[in-house]
Amino acid sequence: MKGLGEPLPKKVAQQWSEWCIGKGYVKVHLDKTGHKYNFENITMPSLWVHTTDDNIANFNNVKEMIDVYPNIQSKIITINPKEYGFTQIGHMSFFSKKKSKLWHLALDWINKY
């Protein structure tokens, strides 16, 4: 994908490739490391912001990431860029200044806690 930043080091690119093509995206890596991560001890509420035009963290990937934390109370907000007057949001620009009218979605949730 063009324009996402600097070129990745070879080993990072290989790791990301493995994550992205493996079933369970994040869990693929976690199962291979042998480390105990204690994700089951995390119980705080969490908000996951997903956009319909995000081709990296699609809805299924978001659900798989949430599954790594079996004891969290999670909420997913799915944003369609067109509903907010944008042609695109994608994976990288939710927090860009140009998309600041979206920030209240996360801030309103944070302010509840």
- 3-class SS string, 72-107: CCEEEEEECHHHHCCCCCCCCCCCCHHHHHHHHHHH
Of 102 and 61, the structure prediction assigns the larger pLDDT to: 102
What digits encode the pLDDT tens for the residues 89-107?
A: 999 899 999 999 999 999 9
Quickly state the pLDDT bin for 13 (edges 50, 70, 90). confident
Amino acid at 96: S
Mean pLDDT of 76-98: 95
Across the chain, mean pLDDT equals 86
104 vs 64, higher pLDDT? 104
- Give the pTM: 0.74
Summarize pLDDT for 32-56 with one digit per residue, the tens.
766 777 889 999 999 999 999 998 8
Q: What tokens appear for 46 in the block?
A: 């969490």
pLDDT value at residue 22: 64
The label of the residue with tokens 């930043």 reads 5
Residue 18 pLDDT: 73
